[in-house]
Amino acid sequence: MNRITLRTPAKINPVLELLGKRPDGFHELALVFQAVSLFDELTLEKIPQGVLFSVSRSPEPLAEDDSNLVVKAARLFLHGVLKGQGGVKITLAKDIPLAAGLGGGSSDAAAALKGMDLLFETKLSEQRLMEMAGQLGSDVPFFLKGGTALGTGRGEKIESWKPAPTLDLILVKPVEGLSTAGVYRSGKAAFTSGDKARAFQNILAKGDIQEITASLYNGLEPASFFLMPRLREIKDKILGAGALGALVSGSGPTVFGLVESDRQGEMISRVFSSNEYRVVKTQTNPQGIEVVR
């Protein structure tokens, strides 16, 4: 095999709880990851040596140097697994908004790891891939699993759950960005016990949309509202337009809404028709990274 293309999904967090500050400076978390049907696409090709990375499309300017998480993932695999023998050219076609609380960069990094494992037929164990993913970022391990899962620790310890029922969603991202580090440092996040995240497994299994909606929770949402007040306005607009529920995803600034149908999602999207927003109608996705060719 000399070339492979993978499709890698975005995520939302229907529940995100902060349990406390860890000695290493990170926060102890209990959060629910849910993959959604909004994708980036990575094509990997063997080359003699090194890492070549380029972006064929992106909704916003994206670094193509060593600061990009895809390049970091490729170099980690190249040096840690291939011991510098061989190289890879990676082309990214990006549709997931950047710095949006949707995990796009983490998803791409996970796809780079999985793609290189397949491309070079190294047949690494799931545990080895997960360990490498955890070195790249707290969200990266989830994308090797996909679907629906509980994350604990920094978010890197993943427990896969039975896939959530198919839920229609609308994602609304303002053009402005929001710093994840700034959200955590704001002092406005709420701390809880982790029980909400763990209870969400049974709530999803019952499939009652009203109960699912009532159980949405994000301890980072007050901090996101504090730093970017218009996010509260976006959430209120989504709910006022008829969504069943709405929540900031991760550290923001994307706000997702649960809607009754794709048609309702289309109606709500018209409320955000200006170029001040990126609006996506989508659904929950039961899978993770997919090989497309």
**3-state class of 116 per DSSP?**
helix
Per the annotation, the verdict on 24 as an active-site residue is: no
Q: Exposed, middle or buried, 18 (CB in 10 Å: 0-12/13-18/19+)?
A: buried
Between helix 126-136 and helix 104-119 the angle, nearest 10°, is 140
The count of other CB atoms within 10 Å of the CB of residue 193 is 10
Catalytic residue among 11, 145, 173, 235: 11
**C-alpha to C-alpha distance for 16 and 29, rounded to whole angstroms:** 7
CB burial string 165-192: b at 16+ within 10 A, e below = eebbbbbbbbeebbeeeebbebebbeeb
Among 2, 284, 54, 253, which residue's Cα sits nearest to residue 146?
A: 284
Catalytic residue among 40, 108, 117, 139: 139
In Å, how far from its chain's centre is CA 168?
Answer: 17
Q: Residue 256's closest CA among 118, 137, 103, 130?
A: 103
* Identity at 287, one-letter amino acid code: Q
Please say if 145 is a catalytic residue. no
In one-letter notation, the amino acid at residue 125 is S
Question: What are residue 52's DSSP bridge partners?
Answer: 89
- Active-site annotation, residues: 11, 139
